[in-house]
């Protein structure tokens, strides 16, 4: 089965609303990372967050290893936040396993 599961698959918000994206991963994985991909664009690293909480502007990432989950919180969403958000985890070896992504659309 899939080792990294993201939810929701898609999310539509009105500008100004908050978003909460979830990532669950299997026991063999750790070292969670979050990426953002604009439509037709390259991946941009948001957070490398193996555990705990990290902040960057309107973004907050929280990883709870013992519960095998990580979340990405976007506060006061803007239309420019629209795109695909991907989480990924590794097994301590060389492979980075990606989730299937959350497609976020922020309406004006």
Q: Does 44 bind other proteins (CB under 8 A)?
A: yes
Q: Does 100 bind other proteins (CB under 8 A)?
A: yes
Q: Does 84 bind other proteins (CB under 8 A)?
A: yes
Question: Which among 18, 31, 11 has a CA at the least distance from the CA of 77?
Answer: 18
Q: Does 85 bind other proteins (CB under 8 A)?
A: no
Q: Does 7 bind other proteins (CB under 8 A)?
A: no
Report the alpha-carbon distance of residue 82 to residue 89 in Å, rounded. Answer: 23
Q: Does 65 bind other proteins (CB under 8 A)?
A: no
Binder of other proteins out of 10, 18, 45, 75 (CB under 8 A): 45
Residue 93 has which token pair? 């070896």
Q: How far is the CB of 41 from other proteins (least distance, A)?
A: 7
Contacts (Cβ under 8 Å, ≥6 apart) of 107: 12, 13, 14, 15, 79
């Amino acid at each position: 089965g899939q080792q990294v599961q993201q939810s929701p698959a898609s999310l539509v918000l009105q500008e100004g609303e908050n978003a909460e994206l979830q990532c669950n991963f299997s026991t063999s994985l750790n070292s969670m990372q979050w990426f953002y991909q604009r439509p037709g664009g390259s991946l941009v690293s948001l957070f490398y967050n193996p555990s705990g909480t990290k902040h960057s502007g309107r973004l907050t990432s929280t990883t709870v290893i013992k519960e095998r989950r990580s979340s990405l919180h976007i506060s006061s969403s803007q239309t420019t936040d629209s795109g695909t958000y991907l989480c990924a985890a590794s097994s301590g070896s060389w492979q980075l396993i990606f989730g299937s992504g959350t497609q976020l659309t922020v309406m004006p």
